[in-house]
């Protein structure tokens, strides 16, 4: 029986000759694997509707325990910037793999579907990708069975910072209780403040924020520590994203130092001209 449903393409892979398997996060049926006959033939009618990280409304057959099938589709969003910008795409691939890892197949998870859909919207508009990724990581923690306390000090429940973070004890320590964990993160309290804030916000509310690269790196360090310790995923998309962002930082550093040395040269030149005059 044909049904109509909405979905976001997670990935596709070749399967026997020209056929393909396409994994789609459907809004109402959860993540599911679809079989598409001869998809790898040029000009297949579902070509653009099976491109990873795009959103469509489909008509097809949904099977609970075996492969499902696609018949036709209508595009809802191609997320052009996500497709075109390699750095933004790396963020989006990581987000989609994280969601895929968090959701058991064939289980309806409309709120996580909404989360991925909104994440792609934000990334497509180039809105604070580092913050968007930290947001989705925070939001998915309970899906991986981890409850981190960002509300108050683990020992005295005070909401007065400046807080530090204990990975081992899964929460915050106030200055009077820093000593409870000799391996505490020694973090910038502003990074914790931002994570606390993100926990209370809805993704729609996040707009472009200008945070220093140091603060963004600190937020990354905290989220990585939590994920390494309690989630333990080894996603290729994550190491690729790390490489890309490191490269971006190096390029920015180079740019800055070149601008600085150009400025110095200009000052030098002004000086010699002044002296000559
Ligand atoms: Zn305390």
**143 belongs to a structural domain:** yes
**Ligand 1 centroid – CA 153 distance (Å):** 5
Give the three-class secondary structure for 155: coil
Same domain, 53 and 103: no
**Ligand 1 centroid – CA 213 distance (Å):** 29
**Ligand 1 centroid – CA 17 distance (Å):** 62
Q: Which pLDDT belongs to residue 226?
A: 95
Distance CA 202, CA 209 (A): 15
**201 belongs to a structural domain:** yes
Classify each residue of 44-71 as buried b or exposed e, where b means 16 or more C-beta atoms within 10 Å of its C-beta: bebeebbbbbbbbebebebeeeeebbbe
**Ligand 1 centroid – CA 270 distance (Å):** 57
Same domain, 124 and 197: yes
**277 belongs to a structural domain:** no
Q: Which among 84, 113, 134 is the end of a domain? A: 84
**Ligand 1 centroid – CA 167 distance (Å):** 15
Q: Which pLDDT belongs to residue 275?
A: 67
Looking up residue 192, the CATH number of its domain turns out to be 1.20.1440.120
**Ligand 1 centroid – CA 196 distance (Å):** 16
- pLDDT tens digits along 115-154: 999 999 999 999 999 999 999 999 999 999 999 999 999 9
Angle, nearest 10°, between helix axes 86-102 and 236-276? Answer: 150
**Ligand 1 centroid – CA 178 distance (Å):** 8
Q: Which pLDDT belongs to residue 254?
A: 84
Looking up residue 63, the CATH number of its domain turns out to be 2.40.50.140
* Structure tokens given for 240: 């690729």
**126 belongs to a structural domain:** yes
**Ligand 1 centroid – CA 273 distance (Å):** 62
- Domain of 199? 99-251
Same domain, 140 and 230: yes
Domains of the chain: total = 2
Q: Which pLDDT belongs to residue 250?
A: 82
**Ligand 1 centroid – CA 160 distance (Å):** 9
pTM of the model: 0.88
Same domain, 118 and 210: yes
Contact at 8 Å (CB) between 200 and 159? no
Same domain, 241 and 105: yes
**91 belongs to a structural domain:** no
Q: Which among 84, 112, 144 is the end of a domain? A: 84
Kindly state the greatest CA–CA separation across the chain.
Answer: 89
Same domain, 152 and 122: yes
Q: Which pLDDT belongs to residue 277?
A: 62
Distance CA 181, CA 168 (A): 8
**116 belongs to a structural domain:** yes
**Long-range pairs of 247-255 with CB within 8 A, sequence gap ≥ 24:** 248/87, 249/213, 252/213
**Ligand 1 centroid – CA 156 distance (Å):** 4
Tokens 């600085």 belong to 260
- pLDDT tens digits along 214-237: 999 999 999 999 999 999 888 888
**Ligand 1 centroid – CA 78 distance (Å):** 48
Same domain, 157 and 53: no
Distance CA 147, CA 170 (A): 7
Q: Which pLDDT belongs to residue 276?
A: 66
**265 belongs to a structural domain:** no
Same domain, 148 and 211: yes
**Ligand 1 centroid – CA 192 distance (Å):** 15
**Ligand 1 centroid – CA 171 distance (Å):** 11
For the chain, residues with pLDDT lower than 50 are none
| Sheet strand arrangement including 164-166 | 149-153, 171-173, 164-166
**Ligand 1 centroid – CA 183 distance (Å):** 16
**Ligand 1 centroid – CA 155 distance (Å):** 5
Distance CA 40, CA 32 (A): 20
**Ligand 1 centroid – CA 162 distance (Å):** 10
Any alpha helices (H) in 205-235, and if so which ranges? 213-230
Same domain, 73 and 150: no
Nearest to 5, CA basis, from 103, 52, 71:
71
Same domain, 25 and 112: no
Q: Which among 84, 109, 139 is the end of a domain? A: 84
Mean pLDDT of the chain: 92
**Ligand 1 centroid – CA 28 distance (Å):** 44
Distance CA 174, CA 156 (A): 8
**256 belongs to a structural domain:** no
């Amino acid at each position: 029986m044909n049904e109509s449903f909405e979905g976001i393409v997670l990935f596709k892979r070749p399967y026997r000759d020209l056929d393909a398997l396409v994994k789609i996060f459907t809004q109402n049926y959860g993540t599911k694997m679809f079989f598409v006959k001869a998809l790898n033939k040029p000009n297949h009618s579902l070509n653009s509707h099976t491109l990873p990280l795009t959103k469509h409304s489909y008509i097809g057959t949904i099977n609970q325990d075996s492969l499902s099938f696609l018949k036709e589709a209508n595009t809802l969003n191609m997320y052009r910037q996500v497709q075109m910008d390699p750095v933004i795409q790396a963020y989006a691939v990581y987000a989609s793999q994280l969601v895929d890892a968090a959701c058991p197949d064939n289980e309806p998870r409309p709120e996580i579907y909404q989360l991925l859909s909104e994440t792609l919207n934000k990334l497509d508009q180039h809105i604070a990708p580092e913050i968007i990724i930290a947001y989705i990581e925070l939001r998915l923690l309970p899906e991986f069975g981890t409850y981190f306390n960002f509300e108050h000090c683990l020992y005295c429940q005070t909401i007065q910072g400046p807080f530090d973070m204990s990975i081992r004890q899964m929460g915050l320590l106030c200055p009077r209780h820093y000593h409870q964990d000799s391996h505490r993160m020694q973090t910038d309290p502003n990074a914790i403040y931002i994570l606390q804030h993100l926990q209370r916000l809805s993704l729609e509310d996040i707009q472009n924020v200008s945070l220093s690269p140091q603060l963004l790196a600190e937020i990354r360090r905290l989220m990585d520590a939590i994920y390494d310790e309690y989630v333990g995923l080894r996603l290729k998309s994550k190491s690729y994203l790390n490489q890309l962002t490191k490269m971006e930082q190096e390029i920015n550093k180079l740019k800055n130092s070149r601008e600085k040395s150009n400025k110095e040269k200009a000052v030098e030149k002004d000086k010699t001209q002044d002296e000559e005059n």
